[in-house]
């Protein structure tokens, strides 16, 4: 018996063994015929066995449908009965899956003697293959059982401490049902994406999606490449060094303020607002560059304001949330966040490399203060042309009114818990980044230049975590990644507390754990939010793209403001680390515990998108 035959035997439902397509028999006949094989005769042999398999599937499916209907007719079906039904559904899905795998394997074998045989068979018998797949029925049944499971979780959360023994027993059944349904869901995903069927792309256009992701990289690079020399530039135009903080604040304030405008605009189109955003940044960078010649602080402010206005993050986020299928959404959200992180790391490095530039071009002085903005202006100009050439306007999707009305009764709890999971790691991260230039030189004698490189290197070194998420996103749900991310954020924040002897090893280890946690969390929470947000909210201005962008920016603001609070509590910078990270560690732990409590409510298979 061959390897594949053993795999079939291992995965087949024992009581239905005789109803599977006989792979060994057909494989032997195809081998025996060799290159003289009669394709039509072989097709008939395969179809004869498929017909027998279909009859068995139709009988079992009808029986299952009736039993599920009578079970759901009950007001509160017991978990044990739902568990039994879930196991039967798994058997049906597995039966379809493995029979289709057998057909695929046989057709691949046939292709060795006749290259067009597989395509020919699939084209001629697509209706038969789709009926064997039975995807719509399985999805409908799976959805009905998961909705009952959702009701059980809600009732379980509302029970008191002094629970009767019968409720405690049913809790065990609910946990078993969870695992059973998760197993069925994995099998259903495999069935849906079998290679034998032509697969629709996970997104409308690759270049449009790539340009959306690339925008996050160059926008963050643009912001941070200007930060290093901002103090010098402020002094040159006749302002105080602290004016550099005003420039940074104007940049982010403009970005946050215009998210509402772009969120509304993206209800109608994507390409034109994306193009306009890029032109704003081009104009902002060039004005920032020419401020040197005019020694104008107003031009510096206007330049940074326009760079902030040109942040198309809400448009990019909404495009991914709306047009990328849930199966690939985590991958592309992670890619988007990875672009931001690499940009955040590359900006300071490029700024440092260009810091000592000093030459003249066409009568204009080029130096470390203005040259980076000229470079970025040219990059954005090229990007604008690429948007015009390659960005394809997607068809604007409108959710049917019935679904919108029905969703108004949907619980907001999953959305709120997801937002909490997005918010807390960003606050911790920003508090760390803002406090490091004060704390690290004080405790470890690090120079400001070294601190800048340390943060940049850490950002770039941790970015590959998104490659791991992208590679494993189809094996694990978003909630599993987030739970790990919140745990790492808590541990990282804990290590940033000065207990007695604060060492560099402790500080670096805490940084690594916190950075991994925040990076894991960022892309995955955006993906989860797009799946759990009620349709009536996602349709309007306050869609997933806006909420993620606004919540992220607000969290960074809260984290940065923590430094001011720490200074107000104690002007001595030495206790700053503990003033910041003791409460943040407690908040991280509480957020982790809340997430664990409502973990089952965040199963993405409970939400149809």
Q: Mean pLDDT in each 10-residue stretch from start to end of the chain (609 residues)?
A: 79 89 85 69 87 92 90 78 89 93 87 80 88 89 84 64 48 79 84 78 83 90 81 80 71 80 86 94 94 88 90 85 79 82 81 80 82 93 95 77 62 87 87 78 79 77 77 79 93 88 88 88 82 73 75 73 70 74 92 89 64
Query: Within its chain, how far is the Cα of 389 from the centroid?
Result: 27
Cα separation, 480 vs 240, in Å, equals 48
CATH number assigned to the domain covering 413-609: 1.20.1250.20
Distances in whole angstroms, Cα of residue 224 to Cα of each of 23, 146, 247, 248, 559: 61, 46, 12, 9, 18
What sign for the dihedral angle of Cα 514, 515, 517, 522? positive
How close are the terminal C-alpha atoms of the chain, in Å?
Answer: 43
Distance CA 443, CA 504 (A): 9
Separation between Cα atoms, residue 368 and residue 563, nearest integer Å: 29
| DSSP label of 477 | -
Say which DSSP state 13 is in. -
pLDDT at residue 156 in the model: 65
d(CA 181, CA 187): 10
pLDDT at 377: 94
CA distance 266 to 397: 11
Listed residue (529, 549, 547, 554) closest to 414, CA to CA: 529
pLDDT at 402: 63
What separation in angstroms does the CA of 214 have from each of 12, 208, 332, 380, 578?
46, 10, 11, 11, 38
Q: Is 77 helix (H, G, I), strand (E, B) or coil?
A: coil
If 0-12 CB within 10 Å is exposed, 13-18 middle and 19+ buried, where does residue 70 land?
A: exposed
pLDDT of 509 reads: 93
Question: At the topology level of CATH, where does 200-398 sit?
Answer: Growth Hormone; Chain: A; (1.20.1250)
| Phi and psi, residue 366, nearest 5° | -110, 120
Q: Give residue 538's pLDDT.
A: 66
Specify the 3-state DSSP secondary structure of 195: coil
Which pLDDT value is given to residue 158?
A: 57
3-state SS string for 516-579: HHHHHHHHHHHHHHHHHCCHHHHCCCCCHHHHHHHHHHHHHHHHHHHHHHHHHHCCCCCCHHHH
Residue ranges of domains in the chain:
3-192, 200-398, 413-609
Question: In the beta sheet, which residues pair with residue 359?
Answer: 366
DSSP class of residue 76?
A: S
- What are the tens digits of pLDDT across the range 584-609? 999 999 999 999 988 877 876 666 54
Q: Closest by alpha carbon to 46, among 65, 21, 64, 67?
A: 21
Question: In the prediction, which pLDDT does 609 show?
Answer: 44
Rounded CA separation 96/90 (Å): 10
Cβ distance 552 to 544 under 8 Å?
Answer: no
Check for a shared fold between 200-398 and 413-609. yes
Please state whether beta strands 358-361 and 364-367 pair in parallel, antiparallel, or not at all (unpaired). Answer: antiparallel
Please give the structure tokens belonging to residue 433: 């980044």
Q: How far apart are CA 609 and CA 128, in angstroms?
A: 27
Residue 258 DSSP symbol: T
């Amino acid at each position: 018996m061959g390897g594949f035959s053993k795999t079939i035997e291992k995965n087949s439902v024992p009581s239905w063994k005789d109803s599977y397509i006989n792979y060994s028999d057909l494989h032997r006949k195809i081998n025996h015929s060799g290159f003289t094989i009669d394709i039509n005769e072989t097709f008939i042999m395969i179809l004869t066995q498929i017909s027998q398999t279909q009859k068995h599937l139709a009988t079992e499916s009808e029986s299952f449908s009736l039993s599920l209907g009578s079970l759901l007719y009950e007001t509160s079906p017991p978990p044990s009965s739902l568990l039994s039904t879930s196991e039967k559904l798994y058997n049906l899905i597995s039966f379809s899956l493995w029979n289709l795998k057998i057909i695929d394997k046989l057709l691949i074998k046939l292709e060795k003697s006749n290259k067009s045989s597989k395509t020919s068979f699939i084209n001629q018998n697509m209706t038969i293959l789709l009926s064997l797949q039975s995807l719509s029925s399985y999805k409908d049944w799976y959805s009905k059982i998961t909705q009952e499971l959702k009701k059980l979780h809600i009732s379980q959360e509302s029970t008191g401490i002094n629970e009767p023994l019968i409720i405690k027993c049913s809790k065990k059944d609910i946990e078993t049902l969870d695992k059973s349904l998760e197993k069925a869901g994995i099998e259903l995903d495999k069935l849906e994406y079998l290679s034998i069927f032509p697969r629709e792309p996970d997104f409308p256009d690759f270049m449009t999606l790539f340009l959306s992701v690339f925008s996050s990289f160059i926008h963050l690079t643009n912001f941070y490449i200007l930060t290093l020399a901002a103090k010098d530039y402020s002094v040159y135009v006749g302002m105080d060094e602290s004016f550099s903080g005003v420039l940074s604040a104007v940049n982010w304030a403009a970005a946050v303020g215009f998210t509402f405008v772009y969120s509304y605009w993206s209800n109608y189109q994507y390409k034109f607002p994306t193009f306009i955003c890029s032109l704003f940044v081009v104009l902002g960078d060039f004005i920032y560059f020419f401020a040197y010649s005019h020694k104008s602080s107003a031009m510096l402010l206007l330049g940074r304001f326009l760079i902030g206005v040109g942040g198309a993050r809400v448009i990019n986020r909404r495009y991914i949330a709306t047009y990328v299928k849930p199966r690939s959404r985590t991958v592309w959200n992670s890619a988007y966040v990875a672009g931001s992180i690499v940009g955040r790391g590359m900006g300071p490095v490029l700024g440092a490399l260009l810091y000592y530039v000093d030459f003249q071009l066409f009568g204009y002085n080029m130096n470390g203060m203005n040259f980076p903005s000229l470079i970025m202006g040219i990059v954005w100009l090229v990007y604008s042309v690429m948007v015009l050439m390659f960005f394809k306007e997607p068809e604007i999707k409108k959710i049917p009114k019935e679904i919108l009305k029905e969703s108004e009764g949907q619980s907001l709890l999953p959305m709120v818990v997801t937002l909490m999971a997005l918010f807390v790691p960003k606050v911790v991260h920003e508090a760390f980044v803002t406090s490091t230039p004060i704390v690290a030189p004080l405790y470890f004698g690090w120079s400001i230049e070294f601190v800048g490189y340390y943060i940049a290197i850490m950002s770039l070194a941790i970015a590959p975590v998104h490659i791991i998420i992208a590679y494993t996103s189809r094996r694990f749900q978003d909630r599993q990644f987030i739970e790990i991310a919140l745990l790492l954020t808590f541990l990282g924040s804990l290590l940033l507390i000065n207990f007695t002897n604060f060492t560099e090893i402790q500080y670096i280890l805490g940084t690594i754990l916190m950075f991994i946690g925040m990076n894991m969390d960022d892309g995955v929470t955006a993906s989860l939010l797009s799946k759990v947000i009620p349709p009536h909210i996602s349709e309007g201005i306050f869609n997933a793209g806006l909420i993620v962008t606004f919540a992220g920016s607000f969290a960074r603001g809260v984290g940065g403001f923590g430094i001011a609070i720490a200074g107000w509590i104690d002007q001595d910078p030495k206790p700053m680390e503990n003033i910041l990270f003791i409460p943040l560690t407690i908040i991280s732990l509480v957020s982790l515990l809340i997430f664990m409590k409502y973990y089952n409510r965040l199963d993405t298979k409970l939400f149809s998108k």
